[in-house]
């Protein structure tokens, strides 16, 4: 037969019982709705001696074991009753009563035949009591709050730490409900978890944030069912205050976010410095290239001046002699043809010397206000036959803002003409030439974009050098002259090009000139 187990409190109310207790009550025809009732009021047949035994256990705190014959349904049995105290601090808050039928033949025979069995049973009971004391000591020394609850959320036991967590004495929590210790906004969720544990018989753990005065407290609450024949009869609720841990986690997270922000700021500042350094390096490189180009042109100018002096004088004598010789020759004579060849080549040499001098020294400018769009129109009219021959489409995107700036019209027109001719000759048939003008503050920008063969990357830095040309019959002075004209106007000329995709020449000129030259 199974042991009958029930738990009573200090007011002799039954707080908990097992299934065997329930079944025995049913068989005896007794009321099984005994939770919260005083059995001495319900069952008047119980002798006062049993009440006194309970009072003695509450008073002494020691387990009491009794054996006595009793009759159930007319049948006499020997019942062993163990009254085991459950301590809360120094007081006994509950008594677990275990009633066992020891009249079974096997037990009775063992006790009759071996008198030493009774001491063994007493020893086992003592071990059970010591075990209860050990677990009670563990529960009371735990820093975590420990409560035993019934399915309604009613507290059957709580240790000191549990009372401390909620600012109450643990002795005052007995018989209270979870609504008495938890804020109302947390009760529904906790009660659902209790019901889930009773229903599914599983251990669950959840974190709960609870308002305590002005502060938020964080708790990790574990619910573990107490099973009897696979049925949950109560549960153990363990409560751990994790507020410090959560605050530390929050502080670490905030520190991490702060460090990430600082890292991001440092990274941005570093990126800005790198960008500025790259820009400064690029500007320095451009200045270096500009200086090298300027020095090269200056050196070419000195060489050109010397060559012009040394070559032009004898070249003038040759030209004058040829003219005199032509007067003595008849045009039909074969020798006159050779004289024509000498004349053309003499003029060619003179032209080259003049061009060399033009690109090597700043031209004398005749600065006047002039419409740059008219200059571009004149240039396109001049190159119109070549444009038509190659079926090139010219797209003009001129600014609507005033386009009158201070320039030497003849010189600027010459520079533009050189660039447009190069663009046309770089394109095959049906190419496109885009000419764009725009304002940028005190500057006027002209862009020439073609769809020609482009310039090889290794040649871009050399295209403004005197005598450099990618054309078979080119002299290599055209772009050098352009460069000198634009720079003498206080402007800049830049080129972007991709091989076989085309080039963009960008010319920037100041809207106004200072009296001594330069930008206003």
Of 3.30.420.40, 3.30.450.20, 1.10.10.10, 3.30.420.590, the CATH number of 145-241 is 3.30.450.20
Give percent of the chain with pLDDT exceeding 70.
78
Calpha distance 139→93 (Å, rounded): 14
Give the number of other Cβ atoms within 10 Å of residue 238's Cβ. Answer: 20
Highest mean pLDDT out of 81-85, 123-127, 162-166: 81-85
Exposure of 21 by Cβ count < 10 A (0-12 exposed, 13-18 middle, 19+ buried)? buried
Residue 416 confidence class, pLDDT cut points 50, 70, 90: very high
Q: What is the average pLDDT across 235-254?
A: 87
| Structure tokens given for 21 | 């207790």
Residues 367-381 have a mean pLDDT of 93
CA separation for the pair 494, 471 (Å, rounded): 20
* pLDDT tier for residue 200 given thresholds of 50, 70 and 90: confident
**In the predicted structure, residue 180 carries a pLDDT above the cut 90:** no
CATH architecture label of 4-132 = 2-Layer Sandwich (3.30)
> pLDDT at residue 110 above 60?
no
Q: Which helix (H) or strand (E) holds 419?
A: helix 409-426
Domain with CATH 3.30.450.20 in the chain: 4-132, 145-241
Cα dihedral: 299, 301, 305, 310 (round 10)? 60
Over 60: is that where the pLDDT of 387 sits?
yes
Average pLDDT, the chain: 79
Band of pLDDT at residue 129, cut at 50, 70 and 90 = very low
Q: Is the pLDDT of residue 510 over 90?
A: yes
Q: Which of 152-166, 263-277, 342-356, 442-456 has the lowest mean pLDDT?
A: 342-356
Q: Which of 8-22, 82-96, 313-327, 464-478 is the least confident region?
A: 464-478
Contact 410, 375 (CB under 8 A): no
Please state, in angstroms and as integers, the Cα–Cα distance from residue 395 to each residue in 392, 415, 448, following that order: 10, 20, 10
pLDDT higher than 90, residue 168: no
Phi, psi of 451 (to 5 degrees): -110, 35
- Please answer whether residues 140 and 163 qualify as being in contact, where contact means their C-beta atoms are separated by less than 8 angstroms: no
Paired with 498 in beta bridges are 502
CATH class name, domain 364-510: alpha beta
Cα 154 to Cα 176: distance, rounded to the nearest angstrom: 6
For 471-489, give one letter per residue: b (16+ CB within 10 A) or e.
Answer: eeeebbbbbbbbbbbbbbb
Three-state secondary structure string covering 45-79? CCCHHHHHHHHHHHHHCCCEEEEEEEEECCEEEEE
- Residue 415 CA to residue 38 CA, distance in Å, equals 118
Cite the residue boundaries of each domain of the chain with CATH code 3.30.565.10: 364-510
High-pLDDT (> 90) share of the chain, %: 15
């Amino acid at each position: 037969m199974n042991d009958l187990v029930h738990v009573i409190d200090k007011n002799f109310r039954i707080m908990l019982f097992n299934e065997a207790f329930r079944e025995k009550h049913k068989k005896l025809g007794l009321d099984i709705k005994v939770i919260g009732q005083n059995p001495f009021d319900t069952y008047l047949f119980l002798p006062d001696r049993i009440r006194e035994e309970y009072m003695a256990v509450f008073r002494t705190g020691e387990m009491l074991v009794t054996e006595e014959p009793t009759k159930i349904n007319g049948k006499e049995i020997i019942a062993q009753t163990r009254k085991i105290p459950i301590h809360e601090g120094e007081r006994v808050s509950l008594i677990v009563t275990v009633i066992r039928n020891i009249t079974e033949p096997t037990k009775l025979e063992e006790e009759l035949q071996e008198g030493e069995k009774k001491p063994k049973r007493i020893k086992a009971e003592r071990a059970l009591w010591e075990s209860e004391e050990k677990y009670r000591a563990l529960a009371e020394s735990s820093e975590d709050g420990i409560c035993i609850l019934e399915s309604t959320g009613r507290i059957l036991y709580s240790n000191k730490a549990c009372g401390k967590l909620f600012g109450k004495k643990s002795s005052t929590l007995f018989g209270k409900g979870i609504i008495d210790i938890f804020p109302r906004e947390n009760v529904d969720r906790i009660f659902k978890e209790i019901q889930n544990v009773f229903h599914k018989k599983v251990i669950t753990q959840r974190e709960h944030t609870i308002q305590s005065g002005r502060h938020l407290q964080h708790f990790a609450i574990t619910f573990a069912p107490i099973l009897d024949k696979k049925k949950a009869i109560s549960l153990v609720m363990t409560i751990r205050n994790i507020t410090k841990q959560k605050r530390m986690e929050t502080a670490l997270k905030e520190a991490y976010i702060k460090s990430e922000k600082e890292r991001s700021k440092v990274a941005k500042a570093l990126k800005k410095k790198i960008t500025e350094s790259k820009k400064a390096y690029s500007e320095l490189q451009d200045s270096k290239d500009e200086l090298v180009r300027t020095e090269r042109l200056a050196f070419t100018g000195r060489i050109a001046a010397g060559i012009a002096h040394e070559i032009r004088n004898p070249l003038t004598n040759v030209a004058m002699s040829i003219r005199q010789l032509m007067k003595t020759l008849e045009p039909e004579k074969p020798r006159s043809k050779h004289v024509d060849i000498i004349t053309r080549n003499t003029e060619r040499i003179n032209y080259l010397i003049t061009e060399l001098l033009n690109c090597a020294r700043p031209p004398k400018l005749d600065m006047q206000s002039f419409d740059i769009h008219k200059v571009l129109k004149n240039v396109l009219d001049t190159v119109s036959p070549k444009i038509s021959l190659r079926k090139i489409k010219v797209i003009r995107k001129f600014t609507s803002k005033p386009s009158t700036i201070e320039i030497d019209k003849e010189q600027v027109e010459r520079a533009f003409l050189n660039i447009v001719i190069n663009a046309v000759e770089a394109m095959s048939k049906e190419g496109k030439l885009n000419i764009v003008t725009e304002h940028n503050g005190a500057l006027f920008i002209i862009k020439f974009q073609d769809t020609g063969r482009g310039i090889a990357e290794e040649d871009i830095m050399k295209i403004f050098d005197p005598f450099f040309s990618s054309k078979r019959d080119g002299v290599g002075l055209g772009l050098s002259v352009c460069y000198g004209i634009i720079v003498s106007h206080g402007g800049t000329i830049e080129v972007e090009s991709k091989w076989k995709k085309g080039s963009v020449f960008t010319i920037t000129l100041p809207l106004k000139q200072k009296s001594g030259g330069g930008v206003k």
